[in-house]
Chain A
Amino acid sequence: MFWKRQIPIFIVTLIGSITLFGWFIDQPNVKEFVGDDATQWFDVLASFAIILGALNLIKLQLQKVLYQKPGWQYSIIAVFGFIFAIIAGFFVKGVDDSVAQWGAHVTSDGTLFKWMFDYVFSPMSATMFSLLAFFVASASYRAFRIRNFEATLLLVSGIIIMVGRVPIGGIISSWFIMYLIILCLGIYVNSLKQDMKITFVFVAVGISLVTIGGVITGWPIDQPGIFYLPSIQEWIYFYPNVAGARAIMIGIGLGIFATSIRYILGIERSYIGE
Chain B
Amino acid sequence: MKDRNFWFVIASITVVFLVYWLLGHPYFVTERFVMLFSIVTLSATLLYYIRAAERGEEFYLRPIPALKAVEEAVGRSTEMGRPILYVPGIQDMDQVETVAGVVVLGHVAKMTARYETSLNVPVSRSIVMKAARESCREAYMVEGRPDMFNEDMVHYLTDDQFAYAAGVNGIMLREKPAACMYMGKFYAESLILAETGNSIGAIQIAGTASQAQIPFFVTACDYTLIGEEFFAASAYLSQKPELIGGVKGQDMIKLVVISVIVISAIIMTVYESTGIGFNIIKYLTIR
Contacts and interface: CB of A to CB of B under 8 A. Distances in A.
Do A and B touch (CB < 8 Å)? yes
A152 to B, nearest CB: 10
B39 A25 contact: no
B74 interface: no
Contacts of A136: 191
Interface in B189-229: 191-192, 194-195, 198-199, 209, 211, 215-216, 218-220, 222, 227-228
Contact of B29 (A25, A131, A150, A250): A25
Interface residues of B, number: 44
Nearest to B130: A273
B29 A24 contact: yes
Contacts of B227: 248, 251-252, 255
B242 A258 contact: no
B99 A270 contact: yes
A271 B222 CA distance: 32
B220 A144 contact: yes
A263 B246 CA distance: 13
B198 A132 contact: no
Given A57-B159, A154-B215, A26 B29 contact: yes
Interface string A81-99: 0000000000000000000
A198 to B, nearest CB: 32
A69 interface: no
Contacts of A259: 96
Contact of A25 (B28, B162, B218, B242): B28
A154 B219 contact: yes
Contact of B246 (A27, A150, A262): A262
B47 interface: yes
B195 A135 contact: yes
Nearest to B251: A254
A25, A143, A262 — which one has the most chain B CB atoms within 10 A of its CB? A143
B250 A143 contact: no
B211 A248 contact: yes
B27 A151 contact: no
Contacts of B280: none
A144 B194 CA distance: 10
A34 to B, nearest CB: 11
A139 B195 contact: yes
Contact of B219 (A20, A57, A155, A252): A155
B219 to A, nearest CB: 4
B211 A258 contact: no
B75 interface: no
A151 B46 contact: no
Given A139-B220, A271-B94, A132 B188 contact: yes
Interface of A: 20, 23-27, 57, 128-129, 131-132, 135-136, 138-139, 142-145, 147, 150-151, 154-155, 158, 248, 250-252, 254-255, 257-259, 261-262, 265, 267, 270-271, 273
Q: Which 5 A-B pairs have CB atoms at the shortest separation, nearest pair first?
A: A143-B220, A144-B219, A143-B198, A139-B195, A143-B195
